[in-house]
Amino acid sequence: MKLLLAEDDAVLADALLTSLARLGFAAEHVSNGLVAEQRLLAADYDAVILDLGLPGQGGLAVLRKVRAQKPGLPILILTALDGLEDRVAGLDAGADDYLAKPFEFVELEARLRALLRRSKAAGSPRDEARFGRLRLDRAGQRAWADDQPLDLSARELAVLDVLLSNADRVVTKEQIAAELSGDELGANAIEVYVHRLRKKIEPAGVGVRAVRGLGYLLEARPL
């Protein structure tokens, strides 16, 4: 399970990352609201723990912007602001739950499990991925640039899925090959599929940049 922790208290964040790892979460940590917004809009997560008092951009602003584009993403507010008006503002902005500091980790764990159960029952937010004007429907195996469907082969869709799932980091050829249903593909074959995919998604203002010696990175490009 992939989770983003947006928390500016380094000591608390370190303790939470350790505890979340023991529960099986692949948790990433950011301490700035602007970075949190960027990560959440660029990549897919199963859940978010969001502090309200973030530097750069407050948690409520992050929450409103992310919720507008990802309505199904489970978001748990974790904050020292525990007044009634604060709780109401957070929930009205789109949070699914609200936990005030100080807290016991066992309660945070229980609230996360509840959010993920509800998310699973409603349909996983990771069934769909977005990057700029590009959209991928994983369940239906279809992709669009705005409202225009893209003509992608099954392997091109698989490559796109890997890149979208790692939109904020470089993806190696080995990672892509491993994700293509166990197909034994060489580096040359991966290059061919990436080249074909790149040409088809460029009209959506999305490029695939080759990072020499490392792999590929999805990036937004001006039209």
Is residue 71 within 8 A of residue 49, CB to CB? The reply is: no
Domains in the chain (CATH in brackets) are 2-123 (3.40.50.2300), 128-220 (1.10.10.10)
User: What region does 181 belong to: left with phi over 0, alpha with psi -120 to 50, or beta?
Assistant: left
**Residue linked to tokens 């994983």:** 138
State the Cα–Cα distance between residues 18 and 189, nearest whole angstrom.
Answer: 39
Is residue 134 within 8 A of residue 143, CB to CB? The reply is: yes
pLDDT at 154: 83
Check pLDDT > 60 for residue 122.
no
Is residue 43 within 8 A of residue 168, CB to CB? The reply is: yes
Q: What is the dihedral of CA 61, 65, 70, 73, to 10 degrees?
A: -10
Check pLDDT > 80 for residue 48.
yes
Assigned token pair, 23: 């529960």
% of the chain surpassing 90 pLDDT = 33
State the Cα–Cα distance between residues 87 and 76, nearest whole angstrom.
Answer: 12
User: Element (H or E) spanning 58, and its range?
Assistant: none
State the Cα–Cα distance between residues 130 and 182, nearest whole angstrom.
Answer: 25
Assigned token pair, 156: 């091109």
State the Cα–Cα distance between residues 101 and 61, nearest whole angstrom.
Answer: 20
* Mean pLDDT of the residues in the chain: 86
pLDDT at 184: 56
Residues near 171 by beta carbon (within 8 Å), at least 6 away in sequence:
162, 163, 215, 216, 217
State the Cα–Cα distance between residues 207 and 130, nearest whole angstrom.
Answer: 14
Per-residue pLDDT of 139-192, as tens digits, reads 778 898 887 889 998 888 889 988 988 877 888 888 888 776 545 567 788 899
Helix (H, G, I), strand (E, B) or coil at 73: coil
Let me know how many helices (H) and strands (E) the chain has, helices first: 8, 11
Per-residue pLDDT of 123-147, as tens digits, reads 555 567 888 888 888 777 889 888 7
* Chain-centre distance for alpha carbon 17: 17
